Amino acid sequence: MSGLDWSAFAANLGWAAAASLAVMLVTFAVAVRRGLHRIVDVAWGVAFTAVAVVSCVASAGSGDPGRRYLVTVLTAVWGLRLALHIARRGRGHGEDPRYERLLAKAPGSRNLYALRMVYLVQGALVWLVSLPVQAAQYVSGPVSTFAAVGAVLVVSGVCFEAVGDAQLAQFRADPAHRGRIMDTGLWSWTRHPNYFGDFCVWWGLYLIACDAAGAAAATVVSPLVMSYLLIWGSGKRLLERHMAERPGYAEYMARTSGFFPRPPK
């Protein structure tokens, strides 16, 4: 039975917090210089990657090497792919309307308000959601079949998300599609392939940590929080509120699954 090195894992919580905070503070400095806070979305995937790498280095000699490298590589592939995709998508655009609306409420300095309400909040969420990535680094014993299933789920989620993003980018690049709703490919099976892919990634990373019962109990909050954010928080719910007035979107919603993929009606 695999176990969790609790004392080393507890020490790692501080290293992970420092890594997440460092990424967010550097991003904040760049954003202030450029006058563009939307780049914090790029930092989201980078911060998870930084936490995974720092945790892997800190856990040397503690956890099973195979699991440590597996969870680090999977997290980095997901995080860096997402960061590059968001960076390409936002190139040449101005401020994100979400941040414009938020910063319009700033009682004083817009930048300091953004630091408190966006960067520090996202840094804290990275630390919380990454708990399975941190804990998996300190689990002893070889990777089990259960953890291998988790790795397959992560890879499937990354592929699902990447294919959905590529299909949407190709659709938007065609001038003939301007003003139309994307409803082909994966987007005909779910209205949010990218969010569903993230859902699979974080439940898969959680399963990799579950070889130790203690790690499973201590980190289950992380995929639950990510699931809430994707479905009811800043993901699906906010995007659909923004899209609701688009011509044809109501019909698209009626025939297409809201989250979990299924054949269209």
pLDDT per position as a tens digit, 121-151: 999 999 999 999 999 999 998 899 989 999 9
Q: What span, in angstroms and rounded, lies between the C-alpha atoms of 216 and 212?
A: 6
Q: Would residue 239 count as lying in a domain?
A: yes
Mutual orientation of helices 193-209 and 221-231 as an angle, nearest 10°?
180
* Residue linked to tokens 């856990």: 59
Which residues are bridge partners to 4 per DSSP? 139
Against a cut of 0.85, is the pTM above it?
yes
N-terminal to C-terminal alpha carbon distance within the chain: 46
Q: Would residue 65 count as lying in a domain?
A: yes
Query: Taking a C-beta distance cutoff of 8 angstroms, is the pair 4, 214 a contact?
Result: yes
81-91 burial: b if 16+ Cβ within 10 Å, else e: ebbebbeeebe
Q: Would residue 260 count as lying in a domain?
A: no
Instruction: Give the chain's domain count.
Output: 1
* Residue linked to tokens 């659709």: 171
Spans in the chain with pLDDT lower than 50: none
Q: What is the mean pLDDT of the chain?
A: 93
pLDDT at residue number 24: 98
pLDDT at residue number 98: 82
Closest C-alpha among 215, 19, 16, 51 to residue 135: 215
Query: Taking a C-beta distance cutoff of 8 angstroms, is the pair 128, 225 a contact?
Result: yes
Q: Would residue 211 count as lying in a domain?
A: yes
Q: Would residue 263 count as lying in a domain?
A: no
pLDDT at residue number 97: 82
What tokens does 172 get? 């938007």
**Residue 38, domain extent:** 6-255
pLDDT at residue number 198: 96
Query: Taking a C-beta distance cutoff of 8 angstroms, is the pair 187, 255 a contact?
Result: no
pLDDT at residue number 1: 54
